[in-house]
Amino acid sequence: MDPARVIEGLRTIYPADRVLVRPAELAPYESDALTAFRARPVAVVLPQHRDEVVATVRWCYEHRVPFVARGSGTSLSGGSLPVPGGVVIALNRLNRILRLDPEERLAVVEPGVVNLEVSRAAAPYGLYYAPDPSSQPVCTIGGNVAFNSGGAHCLKYGMTSNHVLAIEAVLADGEVVRFGGESQEEVGPDLVGLFVGSEGLFGIALEVTLRLVPRPEAYRTVLAAYRSLEAAGDAVARVVASGILPGAVEIMDRLSIEAAEAAVHAGYPQDAAALLIVELEGEEPEVEAELKELLEVVRASGAYEVRLARDEVDRQRIWKGRKSAFSAVGRLSPDYLVQDGVVPRTRLGEALAEIERLSRRYGLRVANVFHAGDGNLHPLILYDGRRPGELERAEELAGEILRLCIRLGGSITGEHGVGMEKRHYLAEMFSEQDLRVMRRLREAMDPGRIANRGKMFPEAQETAALRTA
């Protein structure tokens, strides 16, 4: 459709100041946190209430104009990259907590609500929202739903899908639907589970009902230093095999330690090849009993230094270092790719040793910081995009890491999604029959393929597959 006609149509829904069309206005929306991919939309619209979102989707469906929903743009897979010739629907102004019910332990929120704000609102009632991605202070619930985000505490509490009770959404054809309910026990197909993690291919969440959990009575946070990354990885399997269920188990390697220390001065041991962070939480007697066993397991795993957070300030300092690691790595390199794959916990040490070997082979440094409890690796591949061919080499290394995850019995993504970055690896993990089912499901929900077009499935492949399905 002609761009001028798209803009004219959008201005029938929005006042002119909420339809962004000038190059300087569009520039911040050209990429998400995966800056290797860029595209310019025809326009960005700024809805302030749900009716405007519904009207926009219906207009796009009627005129076959592709659209992309976007929150804070923290996606690391290119999942909120604009579609050329399309519209970005920016949801940050839909940021109200519509209802917080401490008796039922739930919160009903709009998609632009920032993750951490839910816990802040629930704190006076002794409750919080468990999923805690590293981008928690800025990422939105709508984005968390799209990519089924996890976070440091996913070992014990699971992913976003484990904490969403209901979703009201506008599908790609403009129909408004409601999946799930306020009960944790639903009858029939798990349509909430279908929508969570669908990467915006079905439509846009308008309202999300979240499960809240009681804040633990006590925390004990252990920091252990190791001489090798492989030893830290092997220690994770030992901890889980002991029968202890920590709230979180995280690993940082030498490069990520260096970056975090420079950024926030977390007080980490500077000579460590790897750090293991294990946090216990629950009732005081239970936590104290588990702590004794945990310290025995960690010391037996080869840690040369073991620390226990002295108080809440010390605990928050440890976590601030871990959660700032992604952004802090920018101090070490002008550019980096954040990879996201999963391996079985029992093969973490093997995976980390192989990543180190691949790093040497490709001549690129790799900083490792990840959710070790569920085997969710986040290797950060450092490169300089100004050097010819270095981005391509970094992408090749990223692909090798994904293939390693598949080979070890894992997955090409844990929580960042497929987006633009991993479309070509989907066929290496899934059979053609699997992919055909996925494509046909997407076609059933979005016949025009206008919702987040080109993500997950390369458009040409998707179209060919639909013709033969």
pLDDT tens digits, residue range 384-433?
Answer: 989 999 999 999 999 999 999 999 999 999 899 999 989 989 999 999 99
pLDDT, residue 468, reads 40
Extended beta strands in 113-158, E state: 127-128
pLDDT, residue 134, reads 87
Cα–Cα distance, 89 to 33 (Å, whole number): 17
53-89 exposure pattern, b = at least 16 Cβ within 10 A, e = fewer: bbbbbbbbbeeebbbbbbbbbbbbbbbbbbbebbbbb
pLDDT, residue 466, reads 38
pLDDT tens-digit map of 332-347: 999 988 889 999 988 9
pLDDT tens-digit map of 305-314: 999 999 999 9
Q: Does residue 209 surpass a pLDDT of 50?
A: yes
pLDDT, residue 469, reads 41
Q: Does residue 465 surpass a pLDDT of 50?
A: no
- In this prediction, residue 362 has a pLDDT band, given cuts at 50, 70 and 90, of very high
Does residue 327 sit in helix, strand or coil? helix
Q: What DSSP character marks residue 421?
A: T
State the DSSP H helix or E strand holding residue 364, giving kind and residue range, or none if neither: none
Q: What is the pTM of this model?
A: 0.92
Does residue 241 sit in helix, strand or coil? helix
Q: Does residue 374 surpass a pLDDT of 90?
A: no
Residue 142 token pair: 């709508």
Q: Does residue 463 surpass a pLDDT of 80?
A: no
pLDDT, residue 460, reads 54
Average pLDDT of the chain is: 93
Mean pLDDT of all residues in 10-35: 95
pLDDT, residue 86, reads 96
Beta partners for 222?
A: 278, 308
Cα angle 154, 382, 40; round to 5: 85
| Cα-based torsion angle of the residue sequence 360, 362, 365, 369 in order, rounded to the nearest 10 degrees | -90
pLDDT tens-digit map of 77-112: 999 999 999 999 999 999 999 999 999 999 999 999
- In this prediction, residue 36 has a pLDDT band, given cuts at 50, 70 and 90, of confident
Cα–Cα distance, 58 to 66 (Å, whole number): 11
pLDDT tens-digit map of 39-60: 999 999 999 999 999 999 999 9
- In this prediction, residue 152 has a pLDDT band, given cuts at 50, 70 and 90, of confident
User: Of 88-92, 235-239, 324-328, 458-462, which range is least confident?
Assistant: 458-462
258: phi > 0 → left, psi -120 to 50 → alpha, else beta; which? alpha
Residue 252 token pair: 């940082």
pLDDT, residue 405, reads 96
Select from 339, 357, 419, 385 the least CA-distant residue to 82: 419
Residue 155 token pair: 């070992």
pLDDT, residue 452, reads 96
Is residue 387 packed enough to be buried (19+ CB in 10 Å), middle (13-18) or exposed (0-12)? Answer: exposed
- In this prediction, residue 143 has a pLDDT band, given cuts at 50, 70 and 90, of very high
Domains of the chain: 3-90 (3.30.43.10), 97-214 (3.30.465.10), 218-327 (3.30.70.2190), 333-407 (3.30.70.2740), 430-468 (no CATH)
Give the Å distances, CA to CA, from 437 to 21, 410, 427, 434, 454: 38, 21, 13, 5, 17
pLDDT > 70 fraction of the chain, expressed in percent and rounded:
98
Cα–Cα distance, 111 to 115 (Å, whole number): 10
Q: What DSSP character marks residue 17?
A: G
